[in-house]
Structure 1
Amino acid sequence: MPKLIATHEVDDVAHWLASSKRDEVFSGVATNLMTYVLPGDSNRVALSMDVADMDALDAMMKSDAGAEAMKHDGVRPSTVVMYVQG
């Protein structure tokens, strides 16, 4: 099961950290979600997770539910960068 790290910017880090949407939307496709913040930069965050099915993750990210979760959490979609364990 590869590990994935996603970096992105958010509108409000405190709101993003407190949100339960992340767990809801990723629950079917990923485990071991961990959040990270970039000290000194008020908008940059990261998320790591273990992903069993990359196709399912891709479909979720492109779905209406994925888009709604990002909107709810204040994620700036154009800033999302995903790294997959090599």
Structure 2
Amino acid sequence: MSVKAIFFHEVDDVPHWLASPKREEVFAGVMEDILTFVHPEKPNSVGLSGTILDMDKFKAVLASEAAGAAMKHDGVRPGTVELLVES
């Protein structure tokens, strides 16, 4: 069952994060319709939304080395990631 989700987090470099292909590479097959957002008043706060196609597979990808490497490459600040799902 698919579910819509929103992520919030902080990054080191917003233009780098926006331009990175890593999120599409890592989430291919488990998430679609990904949109990116930038907080208008907090310069390092970003977010994304999309549809998670299978939560169990998504969680497995999120816990993978590939996801960790992509987050590091994209400058995602550890401990700032929050996930909200549609209720």
- Which TM-score applies when normalising by structure 1? 0.97
Instruction: Give the aligned residue type for 2:10.
Output: E
Residue 75 of structure 1 is matched in structure 2 by 76
Structure 2, unmatched stretches of 5+, are: none
1:37-76 alignment runs, 5 A limit: 37-76=38-77
Higher percent of residues as helix = 1
Q: Among the aligned pairs, what percent are the same residue?
A: 52
Deviations 1:25-81 (A, max 9, x none): 011210000000001211000010101111111111111000000000000120000
Number of matched pairs: 86
Amino acid at match of 2:54: D
Calculate the aligned-residue CA RMSD, in Å.
0.7
Secondary structure at the aligned position of 2:79 is classed as helix
Q: 2:68, 2:54 → 1: CA distance?
A: 19
Q: Are 1:34 and 2:35 counterparts? A: yes
Q: Residue 26 of structure 2 aligns to a residue in which SS?
A: helix
Q: By how many angstroms is 1:18 displaced?
A: 0.4
> Which 4+ residue blocks in structure 1 deviate beyond 6 angstroms?
none
Q: Which amino acid aligns with 2:14?
A: V
